[in-house]
Amino acid sequence: MEIKTVPGGVCAAKGFTASGIHCGIRKNKQKRDLSLIKSDVPATAAAVYTQNLVKGAPLTVTKHHIENGTAQAIICNSGNANTCNADGIEVAERMCELAGSALGISPDDMIVASTGVIGKPMDVTPIAEGIPALVAALSESGSGDAAEGIMTTDTKKKEVAVEFSIGGKTCRIGGIAKGSGMIHPNLATMLVFITCDAAVSAEMLQKALSTDIKSTFNMVSIDGDTSTNDMVVVMCNGLAGNAPIVDEGEDFERFMCALNAVTVSLCRMIAGDGEGCTRMIECTVTGARDETNAKIAAKSVVCSSLVKSMIFGADANFGRVFCAVGYSGADVDVTKMGVSFKSAAGEIEVAKDGHSLDFDEDKAKSVLSEGEITIAVTLGDGDAEATAYGCDLTYDYVKINADYRT
């Protein structure tokens, strides 16, 4: 199956427009703080949400709105999470009413999301005043502005789109994401909005999304903290003209492959933009007894503060990798374990069969000094494999979070 990267982000698919403006939620007028994504026609919708018991009000409202499997637009603000607020549900519903009215669609067809400081009272006035400009700015080139509007401590926009075919019809799927800190998903993710012009039933769309996140967003960790507002949403409007996907088969597999291409790309972007990070870490575990054990081991490595600090220092202290696998709970034979480090500067094997190897420290330093590092762990127990995504731990992470609210 050919999957081709294309420009456009969430506007790459037919019938989708987007926008992002500064409405006044954030004090910095140079930062966009309100985003909108709209489909020309009603779309099937699916979502997954944070498993944190403390949840943002927008998640409750969105879950209710898409119970029927349909949505047509997404509104999201940054600068305030609308979480732990007495009137949070009322504010989230009001955002849907205001946006729906301006777009000429039912508030019940609106998806709503918020990100920012938790427990800060949220005044809907700036949003109400900004919506006319937000709607007027909708365009097929608005994905970048929308991606900016959902950023908090992110330093880079995160957007991607790909083109593929189903039943002879050309389809496109694209997404934007935000996520830099408070990232340790559990059956959900940061804020990710994905649009597609393929025709997929709501049931199959939910199945595709729920399956995909197990090996993508659930395998990302920046700092071990699961956010209160994590949510990923997918909308498919069917304008590509393919025969609707209503059950499993070749068409569904093709859609799954395209969805995965988008989600993996966004995972890497999120991991590479962790708060204060200087290096993206990808841990690949191969030779595991089964996929579950591979995932447990891989995520334990990227979650380890010692491993993350090791990568920051470009120090090939592979014992920290062994240690993280050893306490992960994965069923492994440590006498068969091996570790290699890889990057654009090359590859170096540092351990094999459970023990260290002689290696060139200077070369190891060079490999670990690149911006993207792969920690390759071999277990020698089977054929299963998994990949997890993370970043290094730096002084700046503490600085950013020490005064995040103030």
Catalytic residue selected from 83, 189, 216, 394:
189
Tell me which amino acid residue 401 is: N
- Decide if 277 contacts 394 (C-beta within 8 A): yes
CA–CA dist 403, 406 (Å, integer): 5
Q: Three-state SS for 397?
A: helix
CA–CA dist 197, 260 (Å, integer): 16
Classify residue 280 as exposed, middle or buried by CB count within 10 Å of its CB (0-12, 13-18, 19+).
buried
Structure tokens at 272: 């590479």
CA–CA dist 209, 236 (Å, integer): 12
CA–CA dist 230, 239 (Å, integer): 28
CA 382 from centroid of its chain's CA atoms? 30
- Decide if 178 contacts 44 (C-beta within 8 A): no
Q: What angle do CA 89, 91, 96 make, to 5 degrees?
A: 95
Tokens 């995932």 correspond to 295
Q: What angle do CA 318, 320, 322 make, to 5 degrees?
A: 75
44 annotated active-site: no
- Decide if 303 contacts 390 (C-beta within 8 A): yes
CA–CA dist 165, 198 (Å, integer): 9
Q: Is the dihedral of CA 50, 56, 59, 60 positive or negative?
A: positive
CA–CA dist 33, 11 (Å, integer): 19
Question: What is the H or E stretch that residue 193 is in?
Answer: strand 191-196
Q: Distance of CA 198 to CAs 48, 118, 205, Å?
A: 20, 36, 10
SS (H, E, C) 267-321: HHHHHCCCCCCCCEEEEEEEEECCHHHHHHHHHHHHHCHHHHHHHHCCCCCCHHH
User: What are the residue numbers of the active site?
Assistant: 189
